[in-house]
Chains A and B, each alone.
Chain A
Amino acid sequence: MNLDGIMEDALKGGPDAVAIACADVRAGFVLGASARGDAERDAATSAAACAAQLCATPRLGADPDCDEDVDGTSALVVSSSWIHAYARVARKPELVIVGVARGDANVALLLDWVKRVAGGLEAVA
């Protein structure tokens, strides 16, 4: 599977997106990325490398000593400079897509786009 090619195609349809990457959170590798420039590519790969921690939430059950995490479906990191949106590929939960946009972009549109890319990847992965 040519993930760089898939990311490149996806970026063309991204609303205000400047970069996109796909990470295997179990193996800890960034499998593919596409960006408008080198700085944006770095921003996407750095963010993708943190996907395992950011796309996980604590299991809040009855056992007070449980210290396990569970897979989150998506995540957002938003500041005035950058927006990073994450979405997990449902049937391949080890794969997480991260999209990057400038801080003034529309957060909801970016997240929706990243989720669509993750959904599309499900069909080919």
Chain B
Amino acid sequence: MTAPVSSRETGLQFAVRNAVDVCAFVDRLSHDAAGEILVAREGTLARGAVFVEGGRVCWAAARGLAPRLTELLIRSSGVDAETMESNFRHCKLAGVPLGELLVARGLVRDAELRAALLQHTIESMDALCHEDASASWRPRPGGYSPRFTFTTSEVLARSLGHAHRGLAAASDRALDVFSNAPPGEWGAAFIRGGAFAAPSPIAARGFLPETAAAVLRVGKWAASALDVAATFQSEDAFLTAMEAGGSSLVAWRHDQTIIAGRVWAQGPARILNHRATLRRRARTASQD
């Protein structure tokens, strides 16, 4: 077991090859920690930073990507560049986050800001993480609005999905079954191999757990249980294991991915029906 990183620890160097490394570090931070993960490459000055507060990722900034957030906000909200620039100048002077000011002034909706911040964070982390990138932790005061920050599970699935867009899109239909899931249910598509030692999420739906670690654990369970089941069942088998509290873990293979998640009592029956419907549609399509 690794001790949680306290908000007083600084100077600790760790590798940030990909979003898994970033999220693993954030998951180990104590819950009251706020600060930034400064990322450098080959001993150079910081190339950017990931801002963290309360175990959540607030946003990431990478050299060269500063104008990207305003681009994303202009695209999603329809606010013109001139209005955006005047608001930006005001924020600089007042020292307030641009996005939150735009929401307060009714220029951008909550959901649009959240989506733009997440997309910007994912693109920045993609630019920051590298085989030879290393990072250090620097505490600093927090103050981000929690509704515009992200759990590590959300960041991890979106980051890896960004890097594997084709596979993430191909898993969409299988994940539909989690789209209108009740609170507490979630599902994710996992890939294994390549740069990742453990099955890693590339797309997710529903109410994800707070930590990336919990999602990775379910992915690992699913891969291992499906391998075991394949010794006496066919490869396309659906697997569910009921937990003591009334929830179930579910897993099945879908093309090159493993779909796994957590559902309530009616979840397995719903998924079996969904799979049967998809199979029927596929048969009908092949006959046409």
Give chain A's interface residues, CB within 8 Å of chain B.
43, 46-47, 50, 53-58, 60, 63-67, 69-82, 84, 107-108
Contact = CB atoms under 8 A, between A and B. Distances in A.
Contact of A46 (B232, B242, B272): B232
B236 interface: yes
A76 B240 contact: yes
Interface in B3-18: none
B257 interface: no
9 contacts: A54-B225, A58-B217, A58-B218, A60-B217, A65-B28, A72-B241, A76-B240, A78-B239, A80-B234
Interface core residue of B24, B214, B220 (most chain A CB under 10 Å):
B214
B272 A72 contact: no
A84 to B, nearest CB: 7
Contacts of B268: 76
Interface residues of B, number: 34
Nearest to B23: A64
B5 to A, nearest CB: 11
A82 B233 contact: yes
Contact of B269 (A43, A56, A80, A108): A108
Interface core residue of A46, A63, A66, A67 (most chain B CB under 10 Å):
A63
Contacts of A56: 241
Contact of A75 (B217, B242, B269): B242
Given A65-B2, A108-B269, A77 B233 contact: yes
Contacts of A78: 237-239, 272
Given A65-B2, A79-B236, A50 B228 contact: yes
B144 interface: no
A58 B215 CA distance: 11
Contacts of B2: 64-65
B277 interface: no
B241 A54 contact: yes
Given A50-B232, A72-B243, A79-B234, A64 B213 contact: yes
A55 to B, nearest CB: 7
A108 B240 CA distance: 13
Contact of B243 (A53, A73, A77): A73
A58 B261 CA distance: 12
Contacts of A108: 269
A81 B236 CA distance: 10
A100 B107 CA distance: 60
A79 B232 CA distance: 11
B149 interface: no
Contacts of A82: 233-234
B241 A79 contact: no
B19 to A, nearest CB: 15
Nearest to B271: A78
B88 interface: no
A77 B214 contact: no
A54 B27 contact: no
Contacts of A57: 221, 241, 243, 249
Interface core residue of B2, B224, B243 (most chain A CB under 10 Å):
B243
B1 A63 contact: yes
A49 B28 CA distance: 37
A54 B239 contact: yes
A46 B24 CA distance: 37
A65 B244 CA distance: 22
Nearest to A68: B217
A89 B236 CA distance: 28
Nearest to B2: A65
B231 interface: yes
B142 interface: no
Contacts of A64: 2, 24, 27-28, 211, 213-214
Interface string B216-230: 011011001100110
A58 B213 contact: no
